[in-house]
């Protein structure tokens, strides 16, 4: 019985298991180490409250909570006994066994650091010898204009097509498009006003005349009231996962073989602007990048700067 109960809890380690109090006591007496998981629930409630109080975005809150929950379950000990060695062991597990990226490991360190400093009130020096893995310098897969056209044309659902149109036409993040409201659309100035986007910053991006025409048709058909793209319940906006699924289905129908995500539409938007001669500084402003170095990645994937370079092979006479 001991082994069966433990296997059950391990199988659903990432889920919340609700049992009767009497059953809890029986299980915790049988397997004492499982009692930590009840302690973790209370700890995660404190983490949630602290993240909200410090003004972290919904996306960051969700990410940090996930990382902290997985770290605690892996360590499986009283949180007050967690040490530098537990952090290092978990990071090695992620990199070696789970084969997670260095970027992922850096997110984990940030989340665990938040837990230790803001919740457990442990000394900051505990992170002194924990080096952050170097970030991999990966170039994003860019969709050609023809591929974007195939994707958009493959979507017949008016709402789904409108979402993808706006993402590509304005370089929006998924988190931004699902939170669009009617009052974000400035038709007179042909701009989209994004309020409190990533980094709690307002910004404007362009409103395409083609997108606006489709948007008017969409609003007329769906009779939108507040959220442009409401979820199952009208008072809630569509989830980000729903948009990702819409894009995945569209790529399948359009026979796109590149390893792309819905965020690739934003990357493609920026790259296509650069290829049309738009200054990188304006692209930075439209995308909402605070670091001026970030948009420079598009110079590495732009066919304008690469495809026009002739290979030395072209000057040879080859039979």
User: What residues act catalytically?
Assistant: 173, 198, 263, 266, 289, 298
**What are the tokens at 96?**
């070696």
DSSP tag of 14: T
Classify residue 143 by burial, with Cβ atoms within 10 Å: 0-12, 13-18, 19+: buried
Residue 237 to residue 233: CA distance in whole angstroms: 8
Q: Which of 229, 254, 272, 259 is nearest to 153 (CA)?
A: 254
For every residue of 186-219, DSSP letters joined together read: ETTTTEEEEEEETTTEEEEEE--HHHHHHHHHHH
Residue 198 to residue 175: CA distance in whole angstroms: 9
**What are the tokens at 38?**
């009840």
Residue 9 to residue 277: CA distance in whole angstroms: 57
Beta-bridge partner residues of 181: 227
């Amino acid at each position: 019985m001991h082994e069966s109960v433990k296997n059950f809890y391990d199988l659903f380690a990432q889920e919340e298991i609700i049992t009767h109090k009497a059953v809890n006591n029986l299980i915790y007496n049988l397997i004492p180490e499982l009692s930590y998981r009840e302690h973790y629930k209370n700890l995660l409630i404190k983490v949630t409250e602290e993240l909200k109080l410090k003004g972290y975005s919904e996306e960051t809150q969700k990410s940090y909570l996930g990382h902290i929950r997985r770290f605690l379950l892996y360590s499986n000990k009283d949180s007050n006994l967690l040490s530098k060695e537990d952090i290092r062991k978990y990071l090695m597990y992620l990199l070696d066994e789970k084969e997670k990226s260095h970027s992922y490991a850096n997110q984990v360190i940030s989340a665990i650091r938040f837990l230790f400093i803001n919740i457990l009130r442990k000394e900051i020096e505990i992170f002194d010898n924990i080096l952050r893995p170097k970030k991999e310098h990966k170039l994003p897969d860019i969709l050609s204009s023809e591929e974007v056209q195939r994707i958009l044309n493959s979507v017949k659902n008016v709402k789904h097509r409108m979402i993808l149109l706006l993402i590509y036409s304005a370089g929006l993040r998924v988190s931004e498009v699902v939170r669009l409201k009617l009052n974000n659309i400035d038709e007179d100035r042909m701009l989209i006003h994004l309020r409190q986007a990533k980094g709690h910053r307002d910004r404007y991006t362009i409103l395409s005349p083609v997108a606006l025409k489709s948007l008017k048709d969409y609003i007329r058909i769906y009779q939108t009231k507040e959220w442009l793209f409401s979820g199952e319940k009208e008072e809630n906006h569509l989830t980000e996962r729903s948009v990702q699924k819409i894009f995945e289905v569209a790529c399948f129908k359009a026979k796109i073989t590149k390893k792309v995500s819905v965020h690739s539409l934003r990357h493609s938007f920026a790259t296509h602007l650069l290829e049309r001669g738009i200054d990188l500084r304006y692209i930075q402003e439209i995308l909402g990048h605070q670091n001026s170095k970030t948009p420079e990645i598009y110079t590495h994937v732009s066919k304008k700067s690469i495809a026009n370079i002739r290979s030395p092979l072209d000057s040879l006479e080859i039979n």
